[in-house]
Structure formats: structure tokens, C-alpha cells
Structure 1
Amino acid sequence: MKKGIIYAVLAYLSWGFLPLYWRLFTAMPAWEILAQRITWSFVFVAVLVTVSKQWKRLKSVGSSRRSAAAIVLCSIFISLNWFLFIWAVNNNHVIETSLGYYMNPLISVLFAVVFLKERLSPGQWLSLCLAGTGVLIMAVQYGHIPWVAISLAVTFALYGLAKKIAKLDVLLGLTGETIVALPVALGYLFYIQSQGTGTFASLPFFSILLLMLSGVATAMPLFWFAKSMQLLPLSLVGFIQYIAPTTSLLLAIFLFNEPFTEGNLISFSFIWLALIIYSFVTFKKSKERVVPVSQADAL
């Protein structure tokens, strides 16, 4: 279990510190950063798939219309999520990104009701109501809906739904998703370069090197997360996941100097209370499931 906790903490700390990484490229438009991220992510995972000799397996999965459609949807949703995150970080909306990822488990629960027809317990409904109240408070404070937070939570929750259909491991899943997005990314990069508006070639060598490593920065936390899921109960991973938005929130307040008002605190307090109730209900359910299994001596 100790190794699993280390993998989970590494994954979520990496995601939490991602705003620091993308802030290194504030001179680049968000669309160009996204295109570079997709390209270098593909290069990195393609090497891994080649070394592990899994191209045939990916091809066989892609031959299924259902799986292929799911991979396309995954690619669309994760690309939108990446773009929104990069844009938000480089436009001083890191607090909203943290709110979005705090909300993500609750949005996923809501989607489970809408799309998978799952039933919620009273505690889960209470969590959703509290989260909705928190969002409304922030909307009143801002004078508009916190669209960055909601969009990040919704796109990632939709990505999770599509992943359930695709049923691919982390490596093949990311490979398939980047293959789908790669033609658009490369086409965009070639276009802006031909128009003289691309910034990649004019970057200092060190910045180019860092951008090329975006594939590693994208893939490694996913691999660590997948490993932690193999070694830890889902309920424990559920608690650890809040390291990421908490880290981003602290960066936003203390490093990026984004204003964290009294209204923000009230709004976040509703979200945090919702997550405490949600986590308690989830943990209780997982404990209830374990009892009959252990009594039956099943593996």
C-alpha cells in the first residue's frame, strides 16, 4: 500500500504543480501550446507503444466502431480540457481551475445519474446541492457564471464517461487520443508557421526543450495514477485526489497573487463541505461492500 500512496501522491502533486509549468510559456497562445502538447505527447507514447510492441493491440481495439467512437470522444473532451486549463492558467484564472477540479467528482456523480441512470443516496444529493450553492455564490460575486471551473469539470467528467466505453489502459488510451488529435494539431502548427505567427521557432533553446518535454509531463502522472489504482482502494485514491486542486489553489493565492476574497472563501467552503460529505458517503459504501466479500473469503 505504501508504494500505491507514493504513486498517487506523485500523480496528484504533478497535476497540482502543472500551472507552474504552463506559466513558462505565457508568450505563446494557448492554442499553440495545446498543439505542441498533443504533438509531443504523441511522440512520447508512440515510442513507449513501439518498445512494448502494442501497436497491433491498439489497431484491434480501433477496429471496433464503438471503441473507435469512444476514443474520438475522449480525444475531443481531453483536448478541450487541456486547452481550457492552459488558457486559464496563463490568464490568471488558476483559482477557478482549482474550483473546477474540486467539483469534478461531484459532476461525475451527476452525470452518472443522467447518463447511467444510477441512483444517489441522500448524502450524495446533499453534496450536489451544496456544490450548486457554492457555484451560485461565486456567480453572484463575479457577476457571471464561473464558466472556466464548470467547463473544466464538465469536459473532464465527459472524458471519464467516454473512457468507460473505450476500456483502454493508460498508454493505449493516450496514444489513441493523441493520434486522433494529431492531424489537427500538426495542421495548425504548420499553418501558423507559414503565416509567420508561430512562436515555437523563436523560443530560447531551453524553452523549446521544456516544451518538448510536455509529452513526459502529460503521460507520467497518468502512469503513476494508473499504478496507484492497482495498489490502493478507490476510496483512498478518492481522498488523495484533492491534493491537486489544493496545490493549485495555494499556488494561485501565494505565488500568482490572484485575489481570494471573502466571497471566494464562502463559495469554496460550500464545495469543501460537499466533498467531505461525498467522501464520507463513498468511504462508507466501500466499507459496506468489503464486508460480504471478506466473509465469503472471495478474492
Structure 2
Amino acid sequence: MNLAPATRNGLAAALTAYVCWGLLPLYFYVLGDVPPLELVGWRVVFTMPVCLAIIWARKQAGELRAAFANPRLLAQLLLSALLIGSNWLIFLLAINNGQALATSLGYYINPLMNVLLGTLFLGERLSRVQWAAVALAGAGIALLLAGAVETLVVALSLACSFTAYGFVRKHTQVSAVPGLTIETTLLLVPAVVIVILAANSAQGTSMASGGYTPALIMGTGIATAIPLMLFAVAARALPLSTLGFVQFLSPTISFVLGLTVFGETLDTTRLACFGLIWAAIALYSWDMLRRSGQTPA
């Protein structure tokens, strides 16, 4: 199948972004000795120069200045900054506690929560097949109440915070990198306070650790900003349905890492939950394809 150059580039950008996000648990697992709150602080600090470099390279300084001059926009970005900062902290706490499978589940649930949010607040309407998919996902989540509450808390916390973040950013009139730059700026003061407190603690700052730890901490800025920039490229070049399918690559990679590298196990409850979530995703995706005319009814 011949694809237009823009579509090929968009697909390559999407695949690269979601592979990077899928591998993040591995990256942060290596940094397991760094306290999660301190790591979030350093992540904000080192994301800032990467964002500014991208702003300079893409000549978006004017858009950045205009956004800073808009109080309503700043208020929206303050909310999104708090949501994404919370999401980062929850994610790092989960990886630090050996719960990569729970993070995978959270990001599998996320697109289905987006659907539900659109129905509740944006007036979007679901077909009966799509409601059936949401019901399957709900059944999978309910299963965790029977014997995997910790997994449920992590998965829903990640899914809810990222869904809310996406909802706020969808209604914030600013593009990806300027938006992330402002979010990072708004989080910078608390981040600096966190790293200063870490430096003055009994344990001391993790940046003074030996080996590869300081370099990996500095690399969190690139690990945060670059996939987001690639995602912005992909979002402009690809149909939403295509992007929706590619996004499942990230939690799938995390799922495989959880079972293999991190040695987590799936008990019957968690396996049944994943099965129902996967069935819900398959059903919803099939209905989307059918409605777009890409597969027979």
C-alpha cells in the first residue's frame, strides 16, 4: 500500500512516540533508587531547557509570548499542569512499587474513559456496540474490587488524571510544545523547591549519586518532551482512527515489560480484567472501523 509522504512521516512519528512511552517504565525502573517525588522535580527541571530548545528551533516564541499574556489560557494550563504533574507522580510511584501492569491497565482504560467523558460532557452519542464496549470495560474494572484493589487504585488514578488532562488540553487553544513549556514553567517553582529539599535531606540529592544515575535523571527532560513533539506531528498528519489504534502500542509494551523484565504475575482476577478490557477495546475499534466504511458490517 502506497502512503503519502506526510502520512508515512506521521505514522513513523506516532510509532516512535508510543514506543518511547511504552518503554518509560523500563527507563524509570532503572532509576528506582531515586525517590519518586524528587524524580518528578528533576523531570520538570530538565524538561524546561528541552522545551525552550524546541520552541527556538520551531520559531514558536511568538506563540509562547501570546499564551503567557492570556490570563484565561494560563488558568487552563495551570490546571493541566497540576493534572499532568499528578499523573507523573502516580506513574513513578507505581513503577517504584513494582506495578507496571497496573500502569499498563490504566493506559488501556484511558481511551475508553475519553469516550465516556465525551458522552457525559460533550454531547457525543455512542452506538449500542460502543456502549457494550464501555460496559465490558466497566465489568473488568469491577472485577478488581474482588481482589486487586491496589491495582484498581493505580489504574484508575492514572486513567482519570490523564483523561482529565487530555480534556483540559483539548479545550485549551495552544499547540503542544508551547503548552508543555508553559505547564513546565508553572510547575518549575515547586519542582525547584522539591529538589532543594532533597539536596538538604539526610539522603542528599540523587544528582550526586555515582554511575549513570545523574545522566539518566537529566535525560528525563528529553524522555518527556521528544515523544510529545512526535505525537504533535502525528496528530496533524494521521486520521484520529489511525492514531487511536497506534496508542495501544504503549500499554502493550508496558504490559510485556511487566511480565518479563519486572517479573510481575497475573493472577486470575487481573487476567480476567485485562481480558475484558482487551475485548472492550477490540469491540469499540471494530465498530469505529465499520462506521468509517473500512470493514463490512
Using the size of structure 2 for normalisation, the TM-score is 0.91
2:195 touches 2:205 (CA, 8 Å); kept in 1?
no
Partner residue, 2:48: 42
| Counterpart in the other structure of 1:135 | 141
Structure 2 partner of 1:160: 166
Cα distance in 2 for residues equivalent to 1:5 and 1:52: 21
Change (3 A) 1:261 1:51: same
Compute the displacement of 1:117 (Å).
2.7
- Check the 8 A contact 2:148/2:270 in 1, yes or no: no
Corresponding residue for residue 122 of structure 2: 116
Going from structure 1 to structure 2, the CA distance change for 1:47 and 1:3 (only over 3 Å counts) comes to closer
Matched, 1:251 2:257: yes
Task: Report the aligned-residue RMSD.
Answer: 1.7
Q: Which amino acid aligns with 1:183?
A: V
After superposition, what is the alpha-carbon deviation per residue over 1:43-83, rounded to whole angstroms, capped at 9, x for unaligned?
21122223444333212123223211111111011111111
Contact (CA 8 Å) 1:100, 1:152: kept in 2 or not? yes
1:291 aligned partner? none
* 8 Å CA contact 1:139, 1:145 repeated in 2: no
Query: Helix, strand or coil for the counterpart of 1:222?
Result: helix
Contact 2:207 2:213 in 1 (8 A): no
Q: Which residue of 1 aligns with 2:282?
A: 276
Counterpart of 1:59 in structure 2 is 65
State the 1:229 CA deviation. Answer: 1.8
Residue 209 of structure 2 is aligned to residue 203 of structure 1: yes
8 Å CA contact 1:40–1:213 kept in 2: the answer is yes
Show the counterpart of 1:190. 196
In the other structure, the counterpart of 1:3 is 9
State yes or no: 1:212 paired with 2:218: yes
Moved more, 89-98 or 1-10: 1-10
The residue aligned with 1:297 is none
Q: 1:144 to 1:78 in 2, by over 3 A?
A: closer
1:293 aligns to what?
none
CA change 1:160–1:55 in 2 (3 A) is same
The answer on whether the counterparts of 1:68 and 1:166 sit within 8 Å (CA) in structure 2 is no
Q: Provide the rounded CA distance (Å) in 1 between the counterparts of 2:189 and 2:29.
A: 26
* 2:101 equivalent to 1:95: yes
Matched, 1:169 2:175: yes
Question: 1:263 is aligned with what amino acid?
Answer: T
Alpha-carbon distance between aligned partners in 2 of 1:80 and 1:198, rounded to the nearest angstrom: 24
Residue correspondences, number: 288
Which blocks of at least 5 consecutive residues in structure 1 are unaligned?
A: 289-299
Shift of 1:195: 3.3
Q: Note if contact 1:95-1:258 (Cα within 8 Å) is conserved in structure 2.
A: yes
Task: Please name the residue that 2:4 is paired with.
Answer: none
Q: Aligned partners of 1:145, 1:211: CA distance in 2, in Å? A: 27
